[in-house]
């Protein structure tokens, strides 16, 4: 580690709950030729047409369109809503932050399933609100009954993640409808569907189909995963104007750059090609899951671009085995390891490491 050069500032009064919050951490390749399967990224390189659109958005001496009008109009037309019922942010994680801040502050509760996307607890802390994590069921899926039962008069937001990161499990349309019946109308429900395009289970809920039924529901989508634009940071929300206006008021202005907006539109223009890449990844996922099960792993029913290995107390050792096999994994101490479905060449390495690990458990 590089030694500090500036004076120690630990006497400056900062919010204690913030000091206690660890910063968001990314998996990093230990070796340059290692396959980075730690962040659920898309292994395909950007399409040439998308790169061209980014280069063409060259007027970067000017601020971008603050409300991403062209992109919102495009998404609105595709999904049969008004452009005011779409809101764009610098990644869906920024949107999560905006909606949480818009609805929950000190004394308020935000419910979510756990384990789920590792950014949720930190975003709730920054808002000054209280996290109420509800344990997943034994299969790594949301326990919607327990989540509904945990709603109190302090609950302001419920985050529901389908497919769930890191287990990949989906929520069925039937279960989601039953859940929404139990959620009071004043509680904001955020349906985080970052991995929706990888779902092939037709019993799964699809927020885009049902958002019109529930005034308190916002659906969150992203260009980071299926559309392969993780580095440009574009996410979007679909929901009632009153909810989106509150998120817009909570946003850092101008955070979605012009090149990012242009790349998202160019990606929508090429969605057939991009979604056929998703088909390839889905096939690869199903292959990996089948082989892992043959090896003896109990894999949750993933509908996403990653798999979850429940390595429990052996997680650190298992992560080291992946590193030795040239794979950067995402270990969650004491719980398990999440691995993205990446390049074709990563698959055999992933499977070889997993076989060593399962035989040592």
Residue ranges binding ligand PMP (CB under 6 A): 40, 91-93, 117, 161, 165, 192, 194, 222, 224, 230, 235
Structure tokens that stand for 238 in this block:
């679909």
Give 207 or 321: the residue with its C-beta nearer to ligand PMP: 207
Give 159 or 357: the residue with its C-beta nearer to ligand PMP: 159
Which of the 8 DSSP states describes residue 172?
B
Q: How far is the CB of 16 from ligand PMP (least distance, A)?
A: 27
With CB atoms as reference, the residue minimizing the distance to ligand PMP is: 91
Give 300 or 357: the residue with its C-beta nearer to ligand PMP: 300
Give 101 or 321: the residue with its C-beta nearer to ligand PMP: 101
φ, ψ of residue 329 to 5 degrees: the values are -105, 170
Structure tokens that stand for 1 in this block:
């580690």
Q: How far is the CB of 197 from ligand PMP (least distance, A)?
A: 13
C-alpha–C-alpha distance, residues 214 and 181, integer Å:
10
E strands in 82-139: 86-89, 109-114, 130-135
Q: How far is the CB of 141 from ligand PMP (least distance, A)?
A: 14
Bridge partners, 35 (sequence order): 327
C-alpha–C-alpha distance, residues 44 and 223, integer Å:
13
Give 187 or 230: the residue with its C-beta nearer to ligand PMP: 230
Q: How far is the CB of 221 from ligand PMP (least distance, A)?
A: 8
C-alpha–C-alpha distance, residues 297 and 358, integer Å:
7
Cβ 287 vs Cβ 341: under 8 Å: no
Q: How far is the CB of 160 from ligand PMP (least distance, A)?
A: 10
Q: How far is the CB of 235 from ligand PMP (least distance, A)?
A: 4
Which of the 8 DSSP states describes residue 157?
E
C-alpha–C-alpha distance, residues 268 and 272, integer Å:
8
Cβ 258 vs Cβ 59: under 8 Å: yes
Give 194 or 357: the residue with its C-beta nearer to ligand PMP: 194
Q: How far is the CB of 122 from ligand PMP (least distance, A)?
A: 12
Cβ 229 vs Cβ 44: under 8 Å: no
Give 137 or 313: the residue with its C-beta nearer to ligand PMP: 137
Q: How far is the CB of 328 from ligand PMP (least distance, A)?
A: 15
- Which of 241, 235, 214, 113 lies closest to 171 in space, CA to CA? 113
Which of the 8 DSSP states describes residue 197?
G
φ, ψ of residue 289 to 5 degrees: the values are -60, -45
C-alpha–C-alpha distance, residues 173 and 192, integer Å:
14
Give 92 or 125: the residue with its C-beta nearer to ligand PMP: 92
């Amino acid at each position: 580690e590089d030694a500090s050069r500036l004076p120690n500032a630990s006497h400056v009064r900062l919010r204690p709950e913030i000091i206690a919050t660890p910063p968001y951490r990314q998996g990093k390749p230990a070796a340059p030729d290692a396959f980075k399967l730690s962040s659920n990224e898309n292994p395909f390189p950007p399409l040439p047409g998308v790169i061209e659109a980014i280069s063409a958005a060259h007027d970067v001496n000017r601020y971008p369109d603050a409300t991403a009008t062209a992109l919102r109009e495009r998404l609105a037309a595709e999904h049969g809503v008004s452009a005011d019922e779409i809101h764009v942010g610098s990644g869906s994680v920024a949107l999560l932050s905006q909606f949480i801040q818009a609805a929950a502050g000190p004394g308020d509760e935000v419910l979510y399933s756990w384990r789920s996307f590792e950014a949720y607890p930190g975003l709730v802390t920054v808002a000054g609100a209280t996290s109420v994590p509800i344990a997943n069921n034994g299969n790594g899926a949301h326990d919607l009954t327990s989540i509904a039962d945990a709603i109190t008069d302090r609950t302001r937001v419920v985050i529901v993640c389908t497919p769930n990161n890191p287990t990949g499990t989906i929520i069925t349309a039937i279960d989601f409808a039953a859940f929404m019946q139990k959620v009071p109308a004043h509680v904001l429900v955020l349906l985080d569907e970052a991995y929706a395009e990888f779902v092939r289970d037709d019993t799964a809920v699809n927020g885009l189909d049902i958002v019109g039924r529930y005034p308190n529901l916002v659906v969150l989508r992203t260009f980071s995963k299926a559309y392969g634009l993780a580095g440009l940071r574009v996410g979007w929300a679909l929901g009632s104007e009153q909810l989106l206006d509150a998120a817009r008021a909570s946003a850092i202005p101008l955070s979605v750059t012009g090149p990012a907006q242009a790349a998202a539109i160019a990606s929508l223009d090429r969605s057939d090609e991009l979604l056929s890449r998703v088909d390839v990844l889905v096939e690869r996922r199903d292959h990996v899951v089948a082989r892992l099960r043959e090896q003896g792993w109990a894999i949750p029913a993933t509908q996403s671009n990653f798999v979850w290995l429940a390595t429990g107390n052996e997680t650190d050792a298992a992560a080291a085995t992946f590193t030795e096999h040239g794979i950067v994994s995402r270990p969650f101490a004491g719980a398990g390891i999440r691995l993205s479905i990446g390049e074709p060449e990563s698959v055999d390495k992933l499977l070889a490491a997993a076989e060593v690990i399962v035989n040592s458990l």
